[in-house]
Amino acid sequence: MILPVLLYKNKKLRKINKNIIKPINLNKIIKNMFDTMYYYKGIGLSAPQIGKNINLFIISINNKKMIFINSKIISYSKNTIISNEGCLSIPNIYVNIKRKKLIKVEYYDNKWKKHNKILNNNMSIIFQHEYDHIKGKLIIDYLKN
């Protein structure tokens, strides 16, 4: 089911989102998030963008679907990369953002299996963008820096 995406003025996008207490079946919400993301031609979508203030986001690149539950960034590299980013919650606006080129992350998948991974380049950028949503941050916040 395609869900409405909250736009940047919605206060739910500014909340710091809570971790999900397992075990809980998230399959329906995850399916709806993928349907919504594909409908709006996105590559990532966070639960806050659909009005759910929980630590959950999805990414789809190179025909690979990834689910991130209770994610956190463990460490960053010193090296950075500039990314021109858009956001489904802020249509038709693009912002150049300096992101960490390499990050180490921890998260659970939809089967509650814990993962520790090192992400770099595009995957690192997309993860950091969606993780910002979990922390109540939007791409327009980078315009101040």
Catalytic residue among 56, 57, 103, 130: 130
Q: Is the pLDDT of residue 9 over 90?
A: yes
pLDDT tens-digit readout, 41-93: 999 999 999 999 999 999 999 889 999 999 999 999 999 999 999 999 999 99
- Output the average pLDDT for the chain: 95
pLDDT for residue 144: 73
pLDDT for residue 23: 74
Domain positions in the chain are 11-144
Confidence of residue 15 (pLDDT cuts 50, 70, 90): very high
Confidence of residue 5 (pLDDT cuts 50, 70, 90): very high
11-144: CATH class: alpha beta
Identity of the residue numbered 98: K
Residue 85 annotated among the catalytic residues of the structure = no
Confidence of residue 24 (pLDDT cuts 50, 70, 90): confident
